[in-house]
Chains A and B, each alone.
Chain A
Amino acid sequence: MRLLSGDARDALLTPLEGGGRSEAVARRLGSAIALGLIEDGEQLPSESQLAATLNVSTLTLRDALADLRSRGLVETRRGRGGGSFVRMSPAALARLSHDRLAEVGVSDLREIGDMHAMVAGSAAHKAAERASPTELARLRDLVSRMSGARDATELHRLEGRFYIEMAAAAQSARLTRLEIEIQGDLAQVMWRLQPDRSAAAVAGERAAVVEAVARHDGDLARRLTEEQVDGDTRRLIEEHIATTRSRDREGGPDDHHPRR
């Protein structure tokens, strides 16, 4: 059964290998929030349940939730009807991506970009051979929604879904899984990308890939996809370099944490 967010959520809320530290847990939950898999205002499962799902101790999970709380992404209410709730604001997401982008290095971004170009390029190539009219319609629908995206958050989410649907149209569960993992890695840093690209421009590029797929031109679909991913990667790296250079002037990493 294809029910988008539920299954996507399963993908990110899978057990972390070897337990995992609180940073890894916070990163995973942050990705799920950034990708919109956990919605604004949504209540998270109980601490014991979520800890079991992610295969970490309750203590580790609490540290991760405290981190997300300090970033303004999670709010904890006490008492009856209490629990942890997702608080997703564009400002909090922009800060999160700013922080994450500062944590990684240029080579990390290049690695993700290389992997993404390979996976998305292959997916587009195979989709040109295997996509059904229904799948093409779904891709076209995503592109048209992208061109009308209200803000950067919506545009990034639609883009992520576009890549995932392309891998599904290639009839490959493995490429789909890789694409979801990559989107999880990218989700937290992509928010920085918006200002220099209009939604219409992004949608136009993706539309060209869909039309190549529809014409069964796998080579063109692959080439266009690789160029688009490489372009995004280059922009991310430029952003990262700019962020890192200006880091000192903006204060340390604790700058964004509310003081108590």
Chain B
Amino acid sequence: MTTTHAADPATVICAAAEGVFATVAEVRRLTLDRHAAAVDTGRPFDDADVSGLAPAFVELLEAADQLAVGLGIILEPGTLPGHPLRLEWWQRPPGRDAPVPLEVDLHPDSIGFYDYTAADWFAVPRRTRARHVVGPYVDVHGTDRYLLTLTMPIEVAGRFLGVAGADVPITGFETMVLRGLGGSDAILANDEGRVVVSTSSRWITGCLLPQQRRRAGVRLSRLPWELIEPPLPEPARAATSGEG
């Protein structure tokens, strides 16, 4: 069915983001449940508890309409006894069917070491205790993807345990937003002024908006994103509605 409709851009974008955050919230719930189960039996949350989350994470990743290509948890240093740094992250690499665990270099002395505590998707939720979105950015070194990473803090009685998160390829997110927008026009920019999704071929995904255009933005609710309405409405056109 071909229709021309003009949806409210903020509503469409927030709904798409909330859909991904629902997955992140589920990752967080699974983690908190396991944490509570450990505490209930009077023992500390440990490495086996974290490893035990894997099947549930894989199942979530393999759900039919899952936009995320990677998800899991990254723990605050010191959360697990004997494991300064620990993460349990699963991803679906391009061209491979089965999800695989992300293996990273967590040796502080090696040159390949990546100090995840300094990464924005970890540091921002730790500092603000609020959820955050990073990207779009190139998944350096190889999964060949341009991603958004959405994260939420995991807290127990005010103590920060780490973050739950999901990686979403920008293309999947963009398709969802463009279909939802129909005839409406919008430029969505992140907190660095980088375009996330746009209906303008002048300001495309990945480019940086000049300062003067950024000031015209409207901040979206609970997202580090601004919506910039294009100054000149583009000609109305028929859009294929993908909502049906």
Contact = CB atoms under 8 A, between A and B. Distances in A.
Interface of A: 1-12, 14-15, 36-37, 39, 129-130, 132-134, 154, 157-158, 164-165, 167-168, 171-173, 176-177, 180
Contact of A10 (B142, B147, B207): B142
A5 B112 contact: yes
Nearest to A133: B192
B111 A130 contact: no
A39 B192 contact: no
Interface residues of B, number: 39
Q: What 9 A-B pairs are tightest by C-beta distance, nearest first?
A: A11-B142, A5-B112, A8-B141, A171-B206, A6-B104, A5-B105, A7-B141, A168-B138, A4-B114
A1 B192 contact: no
8 contacts: A4-B112, A7-B102, A7-B140, A36-B112, A39-B110, A129-B208, A172-B138, A173-B138
B140 A171 contact: no
Given A2-B114, A168-B140, A176-B140, 18 more contacts: A1-B121, A1-B147, A3-B114, A4-B113, A4-B114, A5-B105, A5-B114, A9-B103, A9-B141, A10-B93, A11-B141, A130-B208, A132-B192, A132-B194, A157-B111, A168-B137, A171-B146, A176-B142
A1 B103 contact: no
Contacts, number: 113
Contacts of B103: 6, 9
Contacts of B46: none
B110 A36 contact: yes
B188 to A, nearest CB: 15
Contact of B207 (A6, A9, A39, A130): A130
A134 B149 contact: no
B143 interface: yes
B141 A171 contact: no
B183 to A, nearest CB: 28
Given A3-B104, A4-B112, A154-B111, A180 B141 contact: yes
A15 B95 CA distance: 10
B138 A7 contact: no
B155 interface: no
